[in-house]
């Protein structure tokens, strides 16, 4: 494992998903999924998310579309929160979901809207 890449990945993961989310993932690491978590931090978050060719905001846009298309709403929720942290506005996120509807189908967009509205409501309560 490339420790420096892993550490950069962990820092980016925390920046995008938040300490609470990452702390839960780390707490749930065991012998079964430890190597998977290491790969996730080193390659996904370290090699890809810290690559400077795209800004984290742009990566959030891409991820939301791809994850919504795949119907992975648990991951969509985490990355929707991350997109807000990366500076995307509710208006921009709404536009992403309209594009998801056209290119991936309305059922995917309906599910994504449901999750997005829950996240936005929870975030509004924090302020």
pLDDT digits (tens, 9 = 90+) for 42-85: 999 999 999 999 999 999 999 999 999 999 999 999 999 999 99
Query: What fold does the segment set 54-127 form as a domain?
Result: AhpD-like (1.20.1290)
Q: What is the pLDDT of residues 90-117, one digit of tens each?
A: 999 999 999 999 999 999 999 999 999 9
Token couple for 107: 């059922």
pLDDT at residue 126, rounded to an integer: 87
Q: Could you identify the residue written with the tokens 């998977």? A: 36
**What pLDDT sits at residue 117?**
97
Q: How far apart are CA 37 and CA 43, in angstroms?
A: 10
- What CA–CA distance (Å, rounded) separates 36 from 28? 12
Q: What residues does each domain of the chain span? A: 1-53, 54-127
Determine whether 91 is exposed, middle or buried from the number of CB atoms within 10 Å of its CB (0-12, 13-18, 19+). Answer: exposed
Residue 79 has a pLDDT of: 96
pLDDT at 127 over 90: no
Instruction: Quote the CA–CA distance of 110 and 100 in Å, as a whole number.
Output: 10
The CA distance from 74 to 77, in Å, is: 5
Residue 10 binned pLDDT confidence (cut-offs 50, 70, 90): very high
Report the predicted TM-score, pTM, of the whole model to 2 decimal places. 0.91
**pLDDT score, position 9:** 95
């Amino acid at each position: 494992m490339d420790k420096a890449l892993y550490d950069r990945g962990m820092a980016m993961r925390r920046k995008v998903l938040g300490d609470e989310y990452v702390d839960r993932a780390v707490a749930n690491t065991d012998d079964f999924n430890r190597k998977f978590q290491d790969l996730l931090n080193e390659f996904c978050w370290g090699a890809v998310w810290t690559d400077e060719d795209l800004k984290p905001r742009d990566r959030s846009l891409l991820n939301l579309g791809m994850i919504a298309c795949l119907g992975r709403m648990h991951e969509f929720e985490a990355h929707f929160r991350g997109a807000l942290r990366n500076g995307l506005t509710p208006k921009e996120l709404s536009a992403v979901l309209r594009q998801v509807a056209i290119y991936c189908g309305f059922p995917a967009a309906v599910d994504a809207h449901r999750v997005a509205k829950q996240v936005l409501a929870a975030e509004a309560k924090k302020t």
